[in-house]
């Protein structure tokens, strides 16, 4: 049995972003008071907080019996024989789609640590006719996508700059 969790790099960047966002909200509340603008800014933290919680909760367990996917909004266990197809999409981020015989779908993105190893494990256990024809090429050519992390780091820098400016002025 192998466990795959969210990459610590993804978790750390979203944790720092969430923390800085709360510091930013605190500085806005102190400087300008709590008003409608504050509540609008506070609502904007919800997607960031949900992403952090999803990263912390995510777990993929591969066993001889099947694959268990735990996520914030959808969790389940799928036996290897119950998988109808496996899909793959690689654009800005990389996604793995697992569709079961009863038409349930599961999505795993490459924020999972050791994603390439996970792809290899799935390739070993799922019937070849349920995988894309070029599965081995997909696995061999897979490269982690860091675009999401880069955007979060940029957001951290911007919010950090705004906080420093508001504290100094």
- In this prediction, residue 134 has a pLDDT band, given cuts at 50, 70 and 90, of very high
The total number of structural domains that make up the chain? 1
pTM: 0.86
**Number of alpha carbons in the 13 Å side-chain half-sphere of residue 71:** 15
Predicted confidence (pLDDT) at residue 20 exceeds the cutoff of 90: yes
Beta strands in the chain (DSSP E): 2-5, 59-62, 66-70, 76-79, 83-90, 94-100, 105-109
Dihedral of the alpha carbons of 124, 125, 126, 132, in degrees to the nearest 10? -20
Residue 118's domain comprises 2-168
**CATH number, residue 15:** 2.30.29.30
Task: Look at residue 86 in the predicted model and tell me its pLDDT.
Answer: 96
45-92 pLDDT tens trace: 999 999 999 999 999 999 999 999 999 989 999 999 999 999 999 877
Task: Look at residue 90 in the predicted model and tell me its pLDDT.
Answer: 83
Task: Look at residue 69 in the predicted model and tell me its pLDDT.
Answer: 97
């Amino acid at each position: 049995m192998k466990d795959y969790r969210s990459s610590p790099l993804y978790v750390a960047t979203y944790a720092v972003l969430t923390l800085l966002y709360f510091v930013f909200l605190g500085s806005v509340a102190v400087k300008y008071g709590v008003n409608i603008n504050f509540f609008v800014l506070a609502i904007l933290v919800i997607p960031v907080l949900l992403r952090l919680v999803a990263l912390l909760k995510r777990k993929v367990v591969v066993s001889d019996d099947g694959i268990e996917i735990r996520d914030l909004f959808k969790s389940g266990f799928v036996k290897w024989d119950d998988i109808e197809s496996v899909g793959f999409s690689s654009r800005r981020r990389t996604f793995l789609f697992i569709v079961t015989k009863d038409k349930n779908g599961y999505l795993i993105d490459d924020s999972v640590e050791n994603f390439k190893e996970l792809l290899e494990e799935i390739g070993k256990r799922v019937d070849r006719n349920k995988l894309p024809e070029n599965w081995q090429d997909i696995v061999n050519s897979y490269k982690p996508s860091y675009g999401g992390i880069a955007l979060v780091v940029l957001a951290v820098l911007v919010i950090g700059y705004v906080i420093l400016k508001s504290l100094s002025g």
